[in-house]
Amino acid sequence: MKLIVAVDRDWGIGYKGELLARVRADLQNFKKLTEGKTVILGSNTLSTFPGGKPLKNRTNLVLHPDISYKPEGARVMHSLTELLSYVQAHAEEDFTVVGGASVYRQLLPFCDVAYVTKFDANFPKDVWFENLDKDPAWMLVFRGEEQRSDGKTDTVDGMPFYFTEYRRIKR
């Protein structure tokens, strides 16, 4: 399994149920890395998508314990055990964890690749992702060129950011 996340300098990922920043280049990278694949997310993350609808051109697996929860266009997994059984039974699929914080926490041990957009800024935050730079099980294998957000298309102007890739090196 893989995961994709955007973090600030302190590895914060969200504030009051929202992303820290909306940066078009990051959203385009997210689309490029997830389109045509299976994404795994929680119901809170689903509610932040446009119209609260599942992502188009992807299979959406939503981890949610309530058996009466049935979002249109998504498949619900009611437990981590059910989700992992599904993943194992569909090993040919490309699975990417897309959030939120509790889903990342539960599934990070099962991921081998992490695509991390790093915003070179500090934001107000109330949820964090594990700092992979301090985790000896993970190694930074790619850091792209620095880019800058554009106030015409993004919620923040002039913020440096870059795309990175981490690989699990030991379990």
Q: Domains of the chain: which residue ranges?
A: 2-168
The CATH-assigned architecture of domain 2-168 is 3-Layer(aba) Sandwich (3.40)
Q: How far is Cα 100 from Cα 120, in angstroms, rounded to an integer? A: 21
Top pLDDT among 100 and 171 is at 100
Q: At 103, is the secondary structure helix, strand, or coil?
A: helix
Report if pTM > 0.85.
yes
d(CA 130, CA 23): 22
DSSP three-state, residue 119: strand
Tell me what the pLDDT averaged over the chain comes to. Answer: 97
pLDDT tens across 133-163, in order?
Answer: 999 999 999 999 999 999 999 999 999 999 9
- Residues 29-80 have pLDDT tens digits of 999 999 999 999 999 999 989 999 999 999 999 999 999 999 999 999 999 9
